[in-house]
Amino acid sequence: MRRLILAAAGLLVPSPSPPARPRPAPDPVRPPASHDPDAVVIEARDMVFVQTEVEVPAGKAFTLVFDNSGDKYPHNVSIDDASGANVFRGDVIDGGKTIEYQVPALAAGNYGFKCDVHPNMTGTVVAK
């Protein structure tokens, strides 16, 4: 009853909301400690690849750590040569997961990578 009287008199003041805290900037993606420290890392965040160009050793197989850091969308990494022929296709993983791919040796040159589920997500692998 007292609250009703205070509200009618205009004396009931809502408590202020706590101030919003700014979110810290995301750290650059590095291979998790359990992964090869020389691994190449590609991160998918929602509907984009964070790294749009990565360099790998030519003529040598390598480890690719794929971090699908967004929570909503499944993604993978698929690598094609200059003619469009697929040279590597990683498994599709759900959002919020990380996988380690073993990629066979690539000859020196530029290769395209994409997500097979969302082909508008693209990047370049440079084998040197």
Mention every residue, 6+ apart, whose C-beta is less than 8 A from residue 102: 61, 62, 63, 64
Counting as low any pLDDT under 50, the low residues of the chain are 1-9, 12, 15, 17, 22-31
Res 33: pLDDT: 52
The Cα–Cα gap between 50 and 58 comes to 23
The Cα–Cα gap between 94 and 99 comes to 10
Q: Are 42 and 113 in contact, with CB atoms under 8 Å apart?
A: yes
- 89 forms beta bridges with 78
The predicted model scores a pTM of: 0.73
Each residue of 36-48: b (16+ CB within 10 Å) or e? eeebbbbbbbeee
The Cα–Cα gap between 87 and 107 comes to 11
Res 2: pLDDT: 46
Res 34: pLDDT: 56
